[in-house]
């Protein structure tokens, strides 16, 4: 049986259910009736799309897959990596540099080469793989770049070359850059108009019987929720439903589609309302020299700041001048309005601080979390609003917090500090942009981190098979469906 992994960016469970109840998402509603819904699947930390998507298709967290945010500081190259926080942020770091990082380096340089993606493992097993525009697509098949539309004009205008081939699934569609075959679909890279292209490509592949596994990416809900807030997203969920229905229609209707297709419907993260932007680089720049994206001499800066939605990395730089004292930076971060949690690594320990209290933890034997991972924990449980009952650590406010933070702070591209922001705040990106008045995500908080995970025709028989489901559980389910070990 074929499997379609359908990803709706920033989909919240309550908004999905509202859209279904209002009869705005009838196809998703029919899937809910026939499938098994886990309403609180846990995202990555930071809970932003590059980190979450990497976790989704590798089955491991950031300490193993190496993608750390929408923006992070490359310690070896002494520069910011920007994956498209906003058009303004892209311009600040350089349009071609950001494009190159997003499309090429993310998969072929930044993603851990020692960790196989779903596409690579399925390709190796002879499963026919396909993917519509999705951030993490690395596979075994070589694809030549084929510039079209706005992307061609942008590259020609800058007079820069973008000629690299890439490696992806057998069928790869990436907007104006890569297409494994000609399809009667109008490509676009403009946020808010990508779902239709993705659905058109998927429907054409279905008509041609060209896949066994398809990752169908429907990203436009994220842009809509950023602009208008998550409570307004019924409109964009209805659009995603309409686009998914095009694939179903290509198979002759839902009954025919489900006769030979299993479906997994999921989100990478959720969103929460944002009222204020936090210009973290400016705030820290009052006391230390903060590296700007356009800086000619990065060796003189004391800090690098990487805003990544409702979280941020702060790096201590080994510059030629006076270095920032780690304890002073840590103290200052704990005082800044809008920062809720300050996370860091201390030797073999992870540390989370909040309002002068600290929780220190490491993999061990003392306590179990809801996933069965075991930890040694010392300090204030109140930092995470956590409790321990019968030897089980639990935090409803910050789900799967210990593993998410530990993997984040021990990842090779992590900052010396990772901050999670207070509800209502978002870190202003390097283009000076926040989504104040709309919605955003990125923090450790449950509101940013929990999304739906729906299985139809595959997966577990009971949601209680795991005490806590997370994005890294998706890849094993897909591999099991195809009998790949």
Q: Is the dihedral of CA 278, 134, 139, 96 positive or negative?
A: negative
Q: What angle do CA 152, 86, 185 make, to 5 degrees?
A: 40
Q: Residue 326: its pLDDT value, please?
A: 97
pLDDT higher at 322 or 337: 337
- Work out the average pLDDT over 242-263: 97
Provide the CB-side half-sphere exposure for 419 (13 A, CA). Answer: 32
φ/ψ (deg, to 5) at 207:
-60, -30
Q: How many Å apart are CA 105 and CA 461, to the nearest integer?
A: 39
Residues 407/289, Cβ–Cβ less than 8 Å:
no
- pLDDT of residue 155 exceeding 60: no
Within 59-173, where are the H helices? Answer: 62-65, 87-93, 95-100, 118-124, 149-158
| CA triple 355-446-278, angle to 5 deg | 55
User: What domains can you pick out in the chain, each with its CATH number?
Assistant: 2-67+111-271+446-481 (3.40.720.10), 276-440 (no CATH)
Residue located via tokens 């491991």: 60
For residue 163, the model assigns a pLDDT of 61
Distance CA 301, CA 61 (A): 30
Mean of pLDDT values over 368-381: 96
Taking residues 376-405, what's their average pLDDT? 97
Can you give the pLDDT at residue 159?
43
Strands 171-174 vs 129-131: parallel, antiparallel or unpaired? parallel
Q: Quote the pLDDT of residue 414.
A: 98
Q: What is the pLDDT of residue 147?
A: 60
For residue 360, what are the β-bridge partners?
Answer: 351, 378
Model pLDDT, residue 158: 46
Give CA 126 to chain center in angstroms. 28
> pTM for the complete prediction?
0.95
- Distance (Å, whole) CA 110 – CA 284: 28
Closest CA to 309 of 44, 48, 12, 43: 48
Over residues 178-218, the pLDDT tens digits come to 899 999 998 776 666 799 999 999 999 999 999 999 999 99
Confidence class of residue 164 from pLDDT cuts 50, 70 and 90? confident
Average pLDDT over the chain, rounded to whole?
94
Helix (H) or strand (E) holding 403: helix 401-409
Among the listed residues 287, 188, 269, the one whose alpha carbon sits nearest the alpha carbon of residue 448? 269
Cα separation of the two ends of the chain: 17
Q: Average pLDDT in the 7-14 region?
A: 98
Arithmetic mean of pLDDT, 131-156: 77
Contact 149, 188 (CB under 8 A): yes
Highest mean pLDDT among 44-48, 183-187, 464-468 belongs to 44-48
Q: CA angle at residue 380 from 272 to 338, to 5 degrees?
A: 35
pLDDT(271) > 80: yes
Average pLDDT over residues 242-267: 97
Query: What mean pLDDT is predicted for residues 322-344?
Result: 97
Measured CA to CA in angstroms, residue 340 lies from 278, 384, 426 at distances of 12, 10, 12
């Amino acid at each position: 049986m074929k499997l379609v992994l359908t990803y709706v960016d920033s989909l919240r469970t309550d908004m999905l259910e509202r859209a279904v109840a209002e009869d705005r998402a009838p196809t998703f509603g029919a899937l809910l009736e026939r499938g098994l819904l886990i309403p609180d699947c846990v995202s990555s930390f930071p809970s932003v799309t590059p980190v979450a998507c990497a976790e989704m298709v590798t089955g491991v967290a950031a300490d193993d897959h190496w993608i750390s945010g929408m923006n992070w500081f490359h310690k070896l190259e002494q520069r910011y990596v920007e994956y498209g926080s906003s058009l303004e942020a892209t311009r600040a770091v350089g349009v071609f540099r950001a494009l190159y990082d997003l499309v090429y380096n993310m998969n072929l340089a930044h993603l851990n080469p020692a960790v196989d993606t779903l596409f690579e493992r399925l390709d190796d097993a002879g499963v026919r793989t396909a993917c519509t525009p999705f951030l993490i697509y690395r596979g075994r098949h070589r694809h030549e770049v084929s510039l079209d539309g706005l992307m061609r004009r942008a590259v020609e205008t800058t007079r820069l070359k973008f000629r690299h081939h890439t490696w992806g699934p057998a069928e790869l569609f990436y907007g104006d850059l890569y297409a494994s075959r000609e399809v009667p679909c109008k490509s676009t890279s403009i946020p808010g108009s990508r779902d239709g292209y993705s659905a058109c490509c998927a429907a054409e592949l279905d008509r041609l019987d060209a896949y066994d596994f398809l990752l169908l990416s429907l990203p436009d809900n994220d842009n809509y929720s950023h602009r208008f807030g998550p409570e307004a997203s019924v409109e964009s969920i209805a659009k995603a439903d309409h686009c998914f229905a095009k694939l179903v229609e290509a198979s002759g209707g839902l009954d025919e589609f489900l006769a030979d297709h299993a479906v997994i419907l999921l989100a990478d993260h959720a969103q929460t309302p944002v009222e204020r932007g936090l210009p973290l680089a400016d705030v820290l720049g009052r006391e230390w020299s903060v590296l700007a994206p356009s800086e000619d001499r990065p060796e003189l800066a004391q800090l690098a700041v990487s805003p990544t939605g409702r979280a941020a990395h702060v790096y201590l730089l080994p510059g030629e001048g006076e270095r920032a004292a780690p304890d002073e930076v840590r103290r200052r971060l704990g005082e800044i309005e809008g920062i809720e949690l300050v996370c860091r690594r201390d030797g073999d320990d992870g540390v989370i601080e909040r309002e002068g209290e600290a929780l220190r933890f490491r993999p061990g034997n003392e306590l179990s979390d809801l996933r069965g991972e075991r930890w040694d924990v010392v300090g204030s449980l109140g930092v995470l609003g956590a409790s321990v009952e019968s030897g089980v650590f639990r935090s409803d406010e910050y789900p799967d917090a210990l593993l998410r933070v530990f993997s984040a702070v021990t990842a090779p591209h992590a900052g010396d500090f990772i901050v999670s922001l207070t509800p209502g705040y978002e870190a202003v990106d390097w283009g000076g942009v926040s989504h104040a008045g709309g919605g955003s995500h990125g923090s450790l908080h449950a509101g940013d981190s929990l999304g739906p995970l729906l299985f139809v025709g595959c997966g577990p028989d009971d949601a209680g098979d795991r005490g806590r489901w997370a994005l890294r559980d998706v890849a094993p389910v897909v591999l099991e469906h195809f009998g790949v070990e």
